[in-house]
């Protein structure tokens, strides 16, 4: 089950164009976790990896959106 923090983070991103823009510019999973934590959402790399195929991650503002499934899978598997 998704944590409340992850649910709230996904809702916040969906509702905030500024946060969407920030999300679209992250280069790796660690940066995404850092951005979420800076925004006040205590999520982890592992949690994001577990939910990588959630439909919320299909939105156009994510950095892997233009690359399809393979790019999304690679993003969630790669750490800096």
pTM above 0.85, yes or no: yes
- Kindly state the DSSP code that residue 79 receives in the 8-state scheme: -
Question: Which contacts qualify for 6-11: CB closer than 8 Å, 24 or more apart?
Answer: 6/41, 6/43, 6/47, 6/48, 6/51, 8/41, 9/36, 9/39, 9/41, 9/43, 10/54, 10/56
Find the farthest-apart pair of alpha carbons in the chain and give their distance in angstroms, rounded: 29
- The answer to whether residue 2 scores a pLDDT higher than 80 is yes
The answer to whether 24 and 61 are in contact (CB under 8 A) is: yes
- The answer to whether residue 52 scores a pLDDT higher than 80 is yes
- The answer to whether residue 78 scores a pLDDT higher than 80 is no
- 63-74 tens-digit pLDDT: 999 887 888 888
What is residue 50's predicted lDDT score, i.e. its pLDDT? 93
If 0-12 CB within 10 Å is exposed, 13-18 middle and 19+ buried, where does residue 71 land? Answer: middle
The rounded distance, in Å, linking the Cα atoms of 30 and 78 is: 9
């Amino acid at each position: 089950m998704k944590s409340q923090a992850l649910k709230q983070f996904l809702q916040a991103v969906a509702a905030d164009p500024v946060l969407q823009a920030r999300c679209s510019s992250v280069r790796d999973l660690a940066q995404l976790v850092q951005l979420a934590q800076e925004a006040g959402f205590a999520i982890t790399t592992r949690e994001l990896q577990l939910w990588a195929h959630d439909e919320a991650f299909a939105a156009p503002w994510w950095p892997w959106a233009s690359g399809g499934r393979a790019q999304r899978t690679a993003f969630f598997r790669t750490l800096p």
